[in-house]
Structure 1
Amino acid sequence: MKNLGKQSQSKKQRYYPLRRPDNPYSVDLIPVSEEIYQELNLSINRIRKQEQRAGRCFCPKHLFWKCAADCDVCPYHKKGEFLSLDVEVADEDKDMSTLIDLIADESDLSEELEEKAFKEAVQAAVQSLSPRDWEITRLFMDGLSERAIASKIDCPRKTVNYRKSVIFKTLLEKLSDWF
């Protein structure tokens, strides 16, 4: 008795929905084999999900069984022009090129972003220094010697030397991800 139930399930007839061009709200169900159904179903689901992610498919979930991925005649598909990176478009000189050709080289962009992130990290690390250490750092970056810095901030040269080594150690710790 159990075997009969399994056989009837494996012999279940599958159908492909074919939307009518004259009436997009109705479909004709075409009988297909299980293999063809599985192959078509994968393709239909892939296209429908792609269109949903792009914001063009608004088919209610209870009507997915009607979806044949024929978006041109589907009443739940948003019509209109959509740009694609691989579709050729004409520029101002009437030359045809794709949008992907016009986008900046990825390596240039990544280097630019990395440089910006590094500058922000350095700025945050320097701003975390005490006012005295910041003043020593600023004077050192201006090219002053330890002796000149010591006379400007009114402290011994050895103190400037020690503070400079502490500052470098602190900055290296805070920027360790970059080195």
Structure 2
Amino acid sequence: MTNNENQYTIYIRSTKESIPVNKKEFDAYYHDINIYRIRQQRHGRCVCPASKRLTCDMDCLTCPFHRMGDMRSLDYTETDDEGNETAWVDEIPDDSPLLEDIIIEASEMKALYARLTELMPEAIKIGEMRLEGLSEDAIGERIGIGRKTYAYRLKKVKAVLEKEFPDIF
């Protein structure tokens, strides 16, 4: 390396040593670190001064310049103008379905199942065999009718069920 190339160093904070490198190695090493550091600074989690930016190794938890920033605990509380205190955890929407929706859906599925077995009793067996990975010809042989026959019947049953249960299909 020439003297011009030796002016680049990479500082290893854990061992407190500087390693001389060329420009290409320097840029490659600090590329991801700079992107990460800038992102952390935008969120207020890094207050590293410009004079110390080359000591960054993306190990924020051990860095003396690490701050909480905009990442707060769910137990963090805020007080509004009226003095009401609310925790962030209280404002998380509950995405779980309501019990009455589950009951309605279960009753619809029972009605669908009953109607399906009424229209074509072998449809459930066909579905189970499809889940096992059997081909349409093998399924036809097992239930004792031709592949085209049961495919035609399934198509007709599906059309009837689509009319009777439009929310499911």
Class of the TM-score when normalised by the shorter of the 2 chains: 0.3 to 0.5
Q: Please, what TM-score do these two structures have when normalized by structure 1?
A: 0.35
Higher relative contact order (CA 8 A, sep 6+): 1
